Amino acid sequence: MKAIWNGVVIAESDDTVVVEGNHYFPEAAVKREYLAFSNHRTSCQWKGQARYRSLLVNGEMNPDAVWYYPEPSEAAAEIKGRLAFWKGVQVI
């Protein structure tokens, strides 16, 4: 699987975990040079507190396009150390 935005591969791995239709990539598979800080947080009743990162690729910002659960609940333990994408990021 690949996560692509603005013509650039942001993440690539054959080891993704699918939860609620979203592919969670291992942290090591994500090219961190494209991640930018975000203050955004959300809460999921069964997964826990999500944190976000923005993408900065070729001078263009995609705010809050990456999310992860630093301390997921036991029910969502399989996504610990993994990141997922949305907001126009193509996962193929």
- What are 52's two structure tokens? 């976000």
Say how far apart CA 56 and CA 84 lie, in whole Å. 16
Q: pLDDT (tens digit, 9 = 90+) per residue, 43-65?
A: 999 999 999 999 999 999 999 99
Q: pLDDT (tens digit, 9 = 90+) per residue, 9-22?
A: 999 999 999 999 99
Of 87, 31, 27, which Cα lies nearest the Cα of 63? 87
For the segment 21-48, the average pLDDT, to the nearest whole number, is 97
Local structure of 47: helix, strand or coil: coil
Say how far apart CA 37 and CA 25 lie, in whole Å. 18
For the segment 33-42, the average pLDDT, to the nearest whole number, is 98
Query: Model's pTM, two decimal places?
Result: 0.95
- What are 61's two structure tokens? 């910002």
| pLDDT given at position 61 | 98
Asked if the 2-91 domain carries CATH number 2.170.150.40, the reply is yes
CA 4 to each of CA 31, 38, 65: distance values in angstroms, whole numbers, following the listed order: 11, 19, 11
Residue 89's φ and ψ, nearest 5 degrees, are: -75, 125
